Amino acid sequence: MRFPKYLSKGDIIAVTAVSDGVSDELDVKRFNNGKKNLEEKGYKVIFTDNVFKVADKGRSSDGLTRGKEFNALLDDKNISAIISAKGGNFLNEMLGYVDFEKFVNNPKWFQGYSDNTGLIHTLTTKYDIATVYAGNFGDFGMECWHESIENNLSLLEGKKVVQKSFNKYQDGFSDRVTGLEGYNEDADVLLKLDSKTLKNGDETTFTGRLIGGCLDVLLFLQGTKYDGTLEFIEKYKEDGIIWYLESFDISGENLMMFLWQLNEIGWFKYTKGFLFGRPLFYKDYTDTSYEEAVMYGVGNCDVPVIFDCNFGHKPPRHTIINGAMAKVTYSGGKGMIEYL
């Protein structure tokens, strides 16, 4: 596993819109404040042209343009990290235009979540380069940084950070007034352990190499030329695998079938444990809870499954280093991730 160079003061962080862009006045204000915040920390921040564009139906620009802008950042040896502007639905349109060899020859941190799984998972599983599943750039624009944002930057700088469960999370959407608001933490964080593991006690610990992301994206990525999952887990089978997964908008019935499918094709071989984030939208038609749907798909793996973890679409988010070795600890509704 190759890890890009950790950030040092004076490094350049580039922001690009590989999926959707931002055009709302408050979003633009937030992005400019994120730039100011990071520059006060000693970094230089640049935006590509498509960051502040929404060209057509959830796209910052066409796939070719997004691919060219991404490749130009890969060519620039002065850039140390790339953070995605936003998620969306159509990152897949630019994958065919990405020169992945440029990334191999000049690796740098790439960070985002949701639709950005399409790049994050490909770069790590096919090209053996660590990536970051964490907030898109707007998170850096809040006036007073949440602990999770401080941790995010510290981990990009290579500092040792043990990420513990937060006390609160934001359960839904909230309107912005200034554009610089922090998270509206309106619900208590309470991690849950699957009932099968719980029979042996209300705590568990496991280690392995992290891979995963947004299930909605992984499901259409699997089986394509951008999917290196089976080769990745085979290469690192002695380390074991920790899957971290979360969903944007998958029904309980589809979640059951999708996880069953991924299990059947071998994705979950060598798994030491699962981490599931809180789903943003969840509905079901058969009175099936989220936990029941998940266990239908992965329960026969006979490894711990931890629910309601701090990553994904409901902030605050832990910074997941895709491809890194980690130790996960759960005890009494609280959890901890420590990179080894």
Which domains are assigned to the chain? 12-160 (3.40.50.10740), 168-339 (3.50.30.60)
DSSP state of 236: T
**What b/e string do you get for 32-71 counting C-beta neighbours within 10 Å, with b at 16 or more?**
ebbbebbeebebbbebbebbbbbbeeebbbbbebbbbbbb
Residue 44, beta-bridge partner list:
12
Question: What's the N-to-C CA distance of the chain in angstroms?
Answer: 13
According to the model, what pLDDT value does residue 173 have? 83
Q: Which two tokens stand for residue 186?
A: 């309106």
Q: Are 121 and 218 in contact (CB under 8 A)?
A: yes
pTM: 0.96
- Could you give the strand order of the β-sheet that contains 44-47, starting from the edge strand earlier in sequence? 44-47, 12-16, 79-84, 109-112, 131-133, 320-322
HSE (side-chain half, CA atoms, 13 Å) at 167: 2
Rounded Cα distance, 315 and 189, in Å: 11
CA angle, residues 29, 138, 177, in degrees to nearest 5:
50
pLDDT per position as a tens digit, 36-66: 999 999 999 999 999 999 988 899 999 999 9
Mean pLDDT of the chain: 96
Q: Which two tokens stand for residue 260?
A: 């069953």
Residue 275, beta-bridge partner list:
244, 306
pLDDT per position as a tens digit, 244-291: 999 999 999 999 999 999 999 999 999 999 999 999 998 989 999 999
Residue 307, beta-bridge partner list:
192
Give the model's confidence band at 172: pLDDT under 50 very low, under 70 low, under 90 confident, else very high.
Answer: confident
Q: What is the DSSP string of 290-320?
A: HHHHHHHHHGGG-S-EEEEES-SSSSS---E
